[in-house]
Amino acid sequence: MKGNDIFAELLPPSVQVVQTRTELEDGRSYWEEERYIAEAVPERQQEFRTVRVCARRALARLGHAGVALVPDEKRAPIWPAGVVGSMTHCAGFRAAAVASANDIRGVGIDAELHASLPAEILDIILLPEEQVMAAELSAHHPGIAWDRLIFSAKESVFKAWFPLTRQWLDFLECRILIDAQAHRFQASIRARGPVAAEHELTAMNGRWIAEGPRGQGLLGTCVIVP
């Protein structure tokens, strides 16, 4: 991994990605965005602004400069026409990835602190077979928080899925199979048969990276819909 470039290692050249570990400013204020965070705590406001600075810098590479990125009625970002994109943020990290809709149908990215999930939410996030897989992977590769990685993979899947279907996807409606050696994963969409089939999204393929051992650094995942 080169410096801070988590997603640059995972995404194809057709996807423009900007990521940061410090808060950024545009040098101007976008009132269209600011009204959505007017009552938010300062930390949330800065997170919201910085990830949009990342997105604007990535969009500028596609010829879309100075775009206000407001959420729609379901809180998904509204991208310029002909653009697909995804944003992610966690403590100390923000990133955005965009591409032309002529090149790919969708993209999802997610970053998480590299730590195990709280035990009390495992049954909400992971299917029984995923919990077995996570335990088996942990036995052979204890340095990776596999349960958190599965969670992150599902987040990336949802971010690629939702703009194409406009349907919510529950954590337990998506099954993740991880290839530990190739740093790849496959997602199978369950219980959304007609919707998934209609949009040719019954399966998605993704990639993952661990920045450091469990308890250090970040986990990153991404999904591209060709």
CA atoms within 13 A on the CB side of 137: 20
pTM: 0.95
Report, in angstroms and rounded to the nearest whole number, the Rg of the chain calculated over CA atoms: 17
> Which CATH topology does 7-100 take?
Ribosomal Protein L22; Chain A (3.90.470)
Q: So what's the pLDDT on residue 9? A: 85
Instruction: Give the pLDDT confidence of 128-143 residue by residue, as tens digits.
Output: 999 999 999 999 999 9
Which part of the chain is CATH 3.90.470.20?
Answer: 7-100, 110-225
Instruction: Give the pLDDT confidence of 81-133 residue by residue, as tens digits.
Output: 999 999 999 999 999 999 999 999 999 999 999 999 999 999 999 999 999 99
Q: So what's the pLDDT on residue 1? A: 40
Distance CA 172, CA 124 (A): 7
With vertex at residue 61, the alpha carbon angle to CA 35 and CA 58, rounded to the nearest 5 degrees, is 45
Residue reference for tokens 């995923």: 130
Q: Tell which CATH architecture fits domain 110-225.
A: Alpha-Beta Complex (3.90)
Mean of all residue pLDDT scores within the chain: 94
User: Looking at the predicted structure, is the pLDDT value of residue 77 above 80?
Assistant: yes
Helix axes 128-140, 146-165, angle to 10 degrees: 140
